[in-house]
Structure 1
Amino acid sequence: MSEKVALVTGAARGIGLATTQLFIEHGWRVAMVDRDGDALSDASTGLNKVSPFEYDVSIPSQVDAMVDSVRQTFGRIDAVVNNAGVADFGPIEDTGFDRWREVMATNLDGVFLVSQACISALRDTRGALVNIASISGLRASTLRVAYGTSKAAVIQLTKQQAAELGEYGIRANCVCPGPVRTKLAMAVHSPEIIASYHDAIPLNRYGTEREIAEVITFLCSDKASYVTGQIIASDGGFESTGVGLPALRT
């Protein structure tokens, strides 16, 4: 069984599901991890070379059990995509400690726990870690004190992982998606928000889940064998322009 195996968290929808589907196209097998059992069952049905694993990455005991189960099922782990996350936006003065901890538990603790539990398996395969942060971890924005801080921490965690795990042949990189045209985003973004994003993004559009998945799977592949410790914004140029003044473009 020499086919490579990817473990993808938050795999039941969005970027995680798109990444799973692209891995399959590239001939990988995939351990699909999500805490939403119903959505996970629906997403995995009909997909070849996948197995669903219903676990919560914010709970240490569940993470250990999940990694053991994945290794027993597939025999190896070649790449880990830490994609699971929660998006809870609100004013800073309305963000109590409980709300802060709920975001950190999945967005930061989950990345740490899964990565730590997978180090042994990744040492065996000289594999890859790809952590999914956000443009909100690179630039401050309103309503994102917990979310943005959690993603900024993931960026630093990635650099620490690259610095220490490189001697084992393990590569660690981070992808920071910008605005992505997900069903959820399109449902909650008003026409005014959409227009403002288009004005602020040099490519003048939202990204797609598939476009983010292309970057993730590249970083997991042998084509990126000398790439580690990198923070890649897949955002249509949003971060590079800072605040920007669209009216001064022409």
Structure 2
Amino acid sequence: MTTAKTKQKILQTFLDLLSEHDYEDVSLPLIADKAKVKLSEMRSAFGSKLDLVAAFAESVDKAVLDERDEDMHDQPPRDRLFDVLMSRIDALEANKDAVRALHRAARKDPSLALEFNRLEMRSQKWMLIAAGIDISGLKAGIVAQGLSVAFARVVRVWLDEDDEGMPRTMARLDRELDNGTQFMKRLNGIEGIAKGMRSFLKKASSGRRRRRGRGEDDADHETGYSGEEPVGA
């Protein structure tokens, strides 16, 4: 069984290789060779490069969750989310070139972009939890998808920014969260309309059932049929 230390060494080797090579040129045998592990160990640790990307995303998630600022709990949700997403950028910083390679690969391969998006949505659900934003059901998926797209736009700005203060990155995140706030207002409005429609349809359906029931009773009374066999039959 592959140890946690070996898994971490393989993952870091993968990220180091991405800083120098395109994603498609980084093969599993190459990773195993550079990490100085057997292919059997490689197979036991990670079954594919996508598994390695998922492990990287999970490591970033954990870093953000561990560094969550508890003093932000009394701040507005938007400010808490801004803080969490900037923490995510900070957690990505050590592997910025690897992130650049992953973004480049996603732009070239739509199917790979979909796989990366799936992983990013899972991460963004945790970012919402870290920010204390509780969303469930279908709405959670919609919001996580929107946040994934918004964060990808922020990352693109960050990848091209050299200023350590990240003014352009923060400005873009501000703009994306402003757009997200407007989107949430519209989504909540649509959700309210949908709930009203469901309630209306439920009441209408219940009313039709009651009317059908009364109509059948009236018909039985008029024909003398009660649903039971006549006495003496």
* Same fold, judged at TM 0.5 (above): no
Structure-2-length-normalised TM-score: 0.31
| Rg larger for | 2
Structure-1-length-normalised TM-score: 0.29
Instruction: Looking at secondary structure, tell me which structure has more helix per residue.
Output: 2
